[in-house]
């Protein structure tokens, strides 16, 4: 989907949203009215019985305009646009709760091509999508089934019978289920007309996590773009017993769906998944990674590095993962082929990577040369703790903390506040330098000091430290943006407190690694590249930092004494470990 098409879609849908809201039509009626008009224009032989329809809404010029726009695209693309429009019309809260974000055609094609290359037969295997949404996978699978069966000499009736018997889906939203069934009818409209037969496609409204246990171990191929959002505690309790082997801390809903997909498969069955990349590194996915290493071969991981333009109103790094079911007793070290996937679905191989079976973060190549780099950096046994530091998140959430803050030390004195310390923000961090703390009013109005009950409370950092920006993205030149907290800050004020968008690397013992050396190591190109390979989220997490391999300190110092640059010294210290 091009940016121009996205812009056109937004204009059409937002304009129509006002008409729907004023008329009180409801998202389902609106979507099915559009579907009815589009279907009659696209596939005149199909009946639209069973779809909601508003004659009054159908007469609205902006709805007719949207239908005309959909007719400019192939059926599968238009199904994606209409499903996305319905999700927007349901409202932000409903859409967020059901996590309704749909897979564009280029990504679907990529995954189905991967499945075909892995040996999937579209004329013999059964297919299931437990979060089928707008039939983003089911409709193109039906097309491939038809093409393969037609090439084998099947009649239209035989094709329809095979799709009925071997293609299934479930979804929580009943409107999406009706729309998905009709999308299948549209892609098979010629066969329906020729056979004079109305198929009954098996797409049911259901909670797949609780209501399809009878399908466990029966499906050849599972395809899914599962819903993704953090789960509140009361929701977790509903699923804890059934998914205890993958639930940890505050899980994400899509982690449970990944486990479900593997449970549904026959022995050696295949699953093709579109998910965020966070399952490969996040702390709340430790159990899930262990579950995958025991129960699946990870055949292929495609990283869609373009954070925008893949899902409407979502910016995230996306993984296309191909898994083969295996029994735990056959578990072994797992390697995976990795590629970078463009928005149009094309692949660029990044090579083979070894995935650790300990539940730790998976280092997955993102660029050419990363696989080789990971192979030797990942073998280092040195971590942040070995350097004598621990990572902490800044304690002050600026819009929740009730303690008094001040623009300057002068303001603190005027308020007769005796216990104040510097409050350091992400904006104070200048990459590779000292923290830019002037102790007075800042250009952007952030307060420079905070009142504390005493200096010995846990949130006050009193030991040497390095400060990192907590929120960065792969679009930025650097993910690890670090600066040293100057010594004179401790001398003058006794310590500091970090705002919540900072990560503090605090010295916990003297191992001979001063903060400026740690900052330089963290800022080096090899460490930057490695971190990008284990983090697809925007947050620089403590969990990921704690697992970051660091060069052996003695080898690092020796390399620096030889006059090597920091980047070269870090690489030398890693390679000499061999």
* φ, ψ (nearest 5 deg) of residue 267: -55, 130
What is the edge-to-edge ordering of all strands in the sheet holding 502-507?
389-393, 502-507, 465-469, 482-484
List, by residue range, all CATH 3.40.50.150 domains of the chain. Answer: 104-119+221-368
Residue among 483, 563, 574 nearest 523 (CA): 483
List, by residue range, all CATH 3.90.220 domains of the chain. Answer: 384-575
Which range scores top for mean pLDDT: 62-71, 356-365, 415-424? 62-71
pLDDT tier for residue 391 given thresholds of 50, 70 and 90: very high
Q: How many CB atoms lie within 10 A of CB 512?
A: 10
CA distance 154 to 384: 63
Region of poorest pLDDT, from 111-120, 471-480, 491-500: 471-480
**pLDDT tens digits, 56-100:** 999 999 999 999 999 999 999 999 999 999 999 999 889 888 877
For 229, the token pair is 């959002």
Region of poorest pLDDT, from 300-304, 364-368, 490-494, 504-508: 364-368
- pLDDT score for 548: 93
Q: Is the pLDDT of residue 489 over 80?
A: yes
pLDDT tier for residue 332 given thresholds of 50, 70 and 90: low
- pLDDT score for 576: 61
Q: How far is CA 323 from CA 257, 287, 290, 339, 342, in A?
A: 13, 17, 14, 15, 21
Q: Is the pLDDT of residue 188 over 50?
A: yes
CATH for 384-575 is 3.90.220
**pLDDT tens digits, 115-156:** 999 999 999 999 999 999 899 999 999 999 999 999 999 999
Q: Is the pLDDT of residue 313 over 50?
A: no
CA distance 168 to 88: 26
Are the C-beta atoms of 549 and 377 separated by less than 8 Å?
yes
**pLDDT tens digits, 31-50:** 999 999 999 999 999 999 99
- pLDDT score for 330: 62
What average pLDDT does range 362-372 have in this prediction? Answer: 86
CA distance 259 to 534: 21
Domain 104-119+221-368: give its CATH architecture: 3-Layer(aba) Sandwich (3.40)
- Burial readout 149-174 (b: 16 or more C-beta within 10 A, e: otherwise): beeeebebeebbbbbeebbbbbbbbe
Q: Is the pLDDT of residue 578 over 60?
A: no
Are the C-beta atoms of 527 and 548 separated by less than 8 Å?
yes
Q: How far is CA 58 from CA 36, 97, 258, 320, in A?
A: 9, 29, 40, 38
Are the C-beta atoms of 239 and 209 separated by less than 8 Å?
yes
Q: What is the pTM of this model?
A: 0.89
> Count of alpha carbons within 13 Å of 156, Cβ hemisphere only?
14
Average of per-residue pLDDT values in the chain: 91
CA distance 220 to 268: 8
**pLDDT tens digits, 550-569:** 999 999 999 999 999 999 99
């Amino acid at each position: 989907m091009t940016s121009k098409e996205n812009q056109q879609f937004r204009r059409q849908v937002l304009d129509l949203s006002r008409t729907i809201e004023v008329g009180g039509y409801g998202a389902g009626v609106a979507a099915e009215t559009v579907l009815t008009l589009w279907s009659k224009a696209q596939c005149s032989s199909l009946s639209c019985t069973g779809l909601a329809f508003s004659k009054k809404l159908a007469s609205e010029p902006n709805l007719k305009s949207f239908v005309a726009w959909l007719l400019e695209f192939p059926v599968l693309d238009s199904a994606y646009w209409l499903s996305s429009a319905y999700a927007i019309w349901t409202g932000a809260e409903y859409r967020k709760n059901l996590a309704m974000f749909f897979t564009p055609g280029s990504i679907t094609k990529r995954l189905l091509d991967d499945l075909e290359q892995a040996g999937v037969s579209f004329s013999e295997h059964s297919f299931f999508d437990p979060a089928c949404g707008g039939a983003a996978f089911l409709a193109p699978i039906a097309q491939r089934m038809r093409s393969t069966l037609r090439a084998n000499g099947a009649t239209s009736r035989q094709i329809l019978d095979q799709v009925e018997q071997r293609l299934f889906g479930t979804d929580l939203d009943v409107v999406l289920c009706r729309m998905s069934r009709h999308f299948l009818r549209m892609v098979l409209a010629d066969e329906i007309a020729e056979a004079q037969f109305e198929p009954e496609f098996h797409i049911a409204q259901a909670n797949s996590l609780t209501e399809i246990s009878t399908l466990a171990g029966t499906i050849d191929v599972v395809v899914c773009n599962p819903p993704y959002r953090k789960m509140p505690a009361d929701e977790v309790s509903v699923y804890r017993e059934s998914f205890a082997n993958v639930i940890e801390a505050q899980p994400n809903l899509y982690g449970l769906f990944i486990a479900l997909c593997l449970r549904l498969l026959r022995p050696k069955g295949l699953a093709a998944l579109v998910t965020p990349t966070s399952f490969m590194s996040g702390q709340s996915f430790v159990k899930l990674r262990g579950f995958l290493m025991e129960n699946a071969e990870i055949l292929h991981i495609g990283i869609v590095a373009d954070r925008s333009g893949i899902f409407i109103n979502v910016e995230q790094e996306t993984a296309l993962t191909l898994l083969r079911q295996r029994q735990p007793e056959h578990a072994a070290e797992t390697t995976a082929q990795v590629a970078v996937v463009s928005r149009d679905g094309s692949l660029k191989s990044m090579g083979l990577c070894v995935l650790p079976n300990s539940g730790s973060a998976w280092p997955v190549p993102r660029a050419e040369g990363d696989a080789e780099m990971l192979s030797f950096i990942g073998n280092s046994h040195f971590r942040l703790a070995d350097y004598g530091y621990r990572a902490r998140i800044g304690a002050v959430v600026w819009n929740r903390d009730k303690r008094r803050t001040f623009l300057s030390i002068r303001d603190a004195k005027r308020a007769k506040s005796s216990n104040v310390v510097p409050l350091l923000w992400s904006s104070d961090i200048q990459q590779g330098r000292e923290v830019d703390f002037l102790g007075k009013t800042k250009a952007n109005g952030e307060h420079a000091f905070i009142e504390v009950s005493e200096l010995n409370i846990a949130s006050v950092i009193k030991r040497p430290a390095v400060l990192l920006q907590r929120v960065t993205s792969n679009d930025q030149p650097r993910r690890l943006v670090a600066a040293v907290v100057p010594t004179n800050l401790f001398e003058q004020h006794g310590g500091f407190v970090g705002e919540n968008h900072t990560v503090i690397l605090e010295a916990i013992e003297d191992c001979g690694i001063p903060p400026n050396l740690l900052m330089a190591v963290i800022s080096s190109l090899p460490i930057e590249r490695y971190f990008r390979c284990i983090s697809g989220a925007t947050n620089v997490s403590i969990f990921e930092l704690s697992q970051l391999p660091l060069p052996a300190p003695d080898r690092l110092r020796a390399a620096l004494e030889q006059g090597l640059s920091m980047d070269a010294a870090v690489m030398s210290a890693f390679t000499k470990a061999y």
